[in-house]
A and B are shown apart, each in its own frame.
Chain A
Amino acid sequence: EPEVTQTPSHQVTQMGQEVILRCVPISNHLYFYWYRQILGQKVEFLVSFYNNEISEKSEIFDDQFSVERPDGSNFTLKIRSTKLEDSAMYFCASQTKKNTEAFFGQGTRLTVV
């Protein structure tokens, strides 16, 4: 069964460093998302991406964050200068078309020290 794949499963980084979280969405999917879950809090929407551009972003998704689909298969989330409060589980999701269910990856746990 096709699945969304995220790498790495766990990343530890020093405050101020740049990190790139990687996702391989399901191959025929057109809509892509990043969500995050800070420990003990709700899963929160960060950004959606369609047709090679951001279609929507939350207020969390500030200038420190960027997304890219560099090669038609990978979908990446970059955090330019990590802060302690960026520590969270980051989920990638994809869906075939609008108003269908989204499929999630297993998440990347980011720990900023």
Chain B
Amino acid sequence: AQSVTQPDIHITVSEGASLELRCNYSYGATPYLFWYVQSPGQGLQLLLKYFSGDTLVQGIKGFEAEFKRSQSSFNLRKPSVHWSDAAEYFCAVGPPEYGNKLVFGAGTILRVKS
């Protein structure tokens, strides 16, 4: 069965520092890949998605993610973190032949210190 691993439960970075959140998936082929963000009291907002093509994808709020097939990874990056980026980040996989449901990772809580 497909699965998604986000190895870091919590990450703390200083404002202005770079950020990388890790995501690995287990799946036999190339799935569709997503990053969602959840701020306190808010829903899940899509940051970016990968379906095919260029393996470096740009998203909203200055985020980007790189799909690496050889490592089964889809890590999320941002060059300079802002205090407003503090939230929980979820990586999700949408294997095409499993219909349209998403399989989520456990999430990474990002704290930003000033």
Contacts and interface: CB of A to CB of B under 8 A. Distances in A.
Interface of A: 4, 6, 31, 33, 35, 41-45, 48, 55-56, 58, 91, 93, 95, 98-99, 101-107
B70 interface: no
Interface of B: 32, 34, 36, 41-46, 49, 51, 90, 92, 94, 96, 99-107
Q: Which of B45, B46, B101, B103 has the most CB of A within 10 A?
A: B101
A42 B107 contact: yes
A58 B43 CA distance: 22
Contact of B43 (A31, A45, A105): A105
B51 A99 contact: yes
8 contacts: A6-B43, A33-B101, A42-B104, A98-B100, A99-B32, A99-B51, A101-B46, A106-B42
Given A43-B90, A103-B46, A104-B44, A95 B105 contact: no
A43, A104, A107: which has the most chain B beta carbons within 10 Å? A43
